[in-house]
């Protein structure tokens, strides 16, 4: 049976180019995005703001949609999950190099699956697990101060230390307060590279869905704050607004309890990833043919609504970008990426709270992968 890899071409411009191009523009250097020179740059990451949802709610985000054209759409990364996407933005490299290849991934040395957002501990040191120097560290080498603005609760997290190291963290609770903090930095720093994080859309979507009133309210708040901020930019200040992934709503009636089919968990020791992008890790003594057999079983049962591929197939297809040898074991022996509006759950898991989540992401659909790249100020084309 064919591997059923998705036939898609990723966009020429990448999420990996956004922050690194902004730094190059401050340095007066050519860059992939073609950004002109600027002394100060602000990159806004609106977690979960996919292009399809933004267009579908154009009347609630008139400022952002007025700048959304065919040339202001890029692909995020695979898997389309926050840990992988934000770290790609802040390092300028794809998951196969920085090492955060999913939401929950295998820590083979300790025979456990770890959460890349909240599972950091003394055995998983951020400065070692995330393997690449950040754009902020590169900025410091060039004498450009870097700043990360976000809610206080993320200031000292392991993920912040992994993805944002080299930046000075500035706590601000509301969206408007974060833009005000960015304006203060632009007013006081001769040169600055500023990252501004907006988690509200993703939080609302997970809890209520992107079609909910809560999500619309978060979108309207972002649109108003971004419009006001853009209106005050000086000629040497640039703004880029992008996202780590998009999102789709999956009702509870579309949950798939995959463990109820024995052949789909045969030989599987650990289960990682997201409900829309499973990483299946086999028992360590399994041969290479076991992964092929497991992938075949998944294709026979779920191939009509998901892409199924082995680790080798995913790496060969470039889905994770260039994959360094140290990162390879973190990728599932078999990966299952949903292409219909479904989410996979293991009914054997003691904690089933994740099944209350409405908004989902992680896979390769356009709704999850395609994100905006909106340019303002010195960066407006």
Pairing of strands 237-242, 248-249: unpaired
Domain residue spans in the chain? 16-109+116-249+364-377, 252-359
**CB neighbourhood size of 157 (10 A):** 17
The confidence score (pLDDT) of residue 2 equals 44
Q: CB burial class (10 A; 0-12, 13-18, 19+) of residue 154?
A: middle
pLDDT, tens digit, for every residue of 284-301?
988 779 999 999 999 999
pLDDT, tens digit, for every residue of 194-217?
999 999 999 999 999 999 999 999
Identify whether the C-beta of residue 162 lies closer than 8 Å to the C-beta of residue 129. yes
Tokens for 3? Answer: 């591997």
**Global pTM value:** 0.96
The confidence score (pLDDT) of residue 4 equals 55
Assigned CATH topology for domain 16-109+116-249+364-377: Alkaline Phosphatase, subunit A (3.40.720)
Q: Is 173 helix (H, G, I), strand (E, B) or coil?
A: coil
Sign of CA dihedral 13, 18, 22, 23: negative
Average predicted confidence (pLDDT) for the chain: 95
pLDDT, tens digit, for every residue of 151-171?
999 999 999 999 999 999 999
Over the range 201-238, which residues count as b (16 or more CB within 10 Å of their CB) and which as e? bbbbbbebbbebebbbebbebbbbbbbebbeebeebbb
Q: Which of 50, 100, 33 is nearest to 364 (CA)?
A: 50
Q: Is 324 helix (H, G, I), strand (E, B) or coil?
A: coil
Q: Which of 259, 284, 257, 255 is nearest to 269 (CA)?
A: 284
Identify whether the C-beta of residue 134 lies closer than 8 Å to the C-beta of residue 90. yes
Identify whether the C-beta of residue 201 lies closer than 8 Å to the C-beta of residue 246. no
* CATH pick for 252-359 out of 1.20.59.10, 3.30.1360.180, 3.20.20.70, 3.40.50.1110: 3.30.1360.180
Identify whether the C-beta of residue 149 lies closer than 8 Å to the C-beta of residue 196. yes
Q: Where are the beta strands (DSSP E) in the chain?
A: 40-46, 73-75, 104-107, 112-115, 146-150, 168-171, 192-198, 237-242, 248-249, 255-257, 268-274, 277-282, 306-310, 334-338, 343-345, 359-360, 370-372, 374-377
Report residues of the chain scoring pLDDT below 50.
1-3
pLDDT, tens digit, for every residue of 298-333?
999 999 999 999 999 999 999 999 999 999 999 999
What is the enclosing helix (H) or strand (E) of 235?
none
**CB neighbourhood size of 271 (10 A):** 21
C-alpha 172/C-alpha 181 separation (Å) is 7
Sign of CA dihedral 70, 74, 79, 84: negative
The confidence score (pLDDT) of residue 70 equals 84
Q: Is 118 helix (H, G, I), strand (E, B) or coil?
A: coil
The confidence score (pLDDT) of residue 1 equals 41
């Amino acid at each position: 049976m064919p591997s059923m890899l998705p036939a898609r071409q990723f966009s020429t411009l990448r999420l990996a180019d956004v922050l690194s191009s902004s730094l190059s523009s401050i340095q007066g250097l050519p860059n992939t995005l073609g950004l002109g020179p600027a002394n100060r740059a602000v990159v806004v990451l609106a977690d979960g703001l996919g292009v399809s949802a933004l267009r579908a709610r154009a009347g609630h985000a008139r400022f952002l949609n007025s700048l959304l054209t065919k040339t202001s759409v890029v692909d995020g990364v695979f898997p389309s999950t926050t840990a992988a996407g934000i770290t790609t933005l802040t390092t300028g490299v794809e998951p196969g190099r920085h090492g955060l290849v999913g939401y929950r991934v295998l820590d083979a040395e300790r025979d456990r699956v770890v959460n890349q957002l909240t599972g950091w501990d003394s055995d998983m040191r951020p400065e070692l697990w995330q393997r690449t120097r950040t754009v902020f560290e590169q900025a410091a080498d060039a004498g450009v101060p870097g700043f990360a603005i976000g809610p206080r609760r993320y200031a000292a997290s392991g993920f912040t230390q992994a993805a944002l190291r080299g930046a000075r963290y500035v706590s601000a609770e509301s969206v408007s307060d974060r833009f005000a903090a960015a304006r203060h930095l632009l007013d006081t720093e001769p040169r600055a590279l500023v990252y501004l994080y907006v988690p509200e859309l993703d939080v609302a979507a997970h809890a209520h869905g992107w079609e909910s009133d809560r999500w619309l309210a978060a979108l309207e708040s972002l649109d108003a704050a971004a419009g006001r901020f853009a209106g005050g930019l000086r000629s040497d200040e640039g703004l880029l607004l992008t996202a780590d992934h998009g999102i789709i709503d999956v009702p509870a009636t579309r949950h798939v309890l995959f463990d109820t089919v024995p052949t789909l968990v045969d030989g599987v020791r650990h289960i990682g990833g997201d409900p829309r992008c499973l990483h299946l890790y086999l028992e360590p003594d399994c041969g290479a043919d076991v992964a092929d057999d497991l992938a075949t079983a998944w294709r026979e049962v779920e191939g009509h609504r998901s892409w199924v591929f082995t680790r080798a197939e995913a790496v060969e297809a470039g889905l994770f970008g260039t994959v360094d040898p140290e990162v390879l074991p973190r990728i599932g022996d078999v990966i299952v990426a949903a292409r219909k509006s479904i989410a996979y759950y293991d009914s054997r898991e003691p904690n089933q709270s994740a099944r209350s989540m409405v908004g989902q992401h992680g896979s390769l659909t356009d709704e999850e992968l395609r994100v905006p790249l909106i340019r303002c100020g010195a960066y407006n084309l």
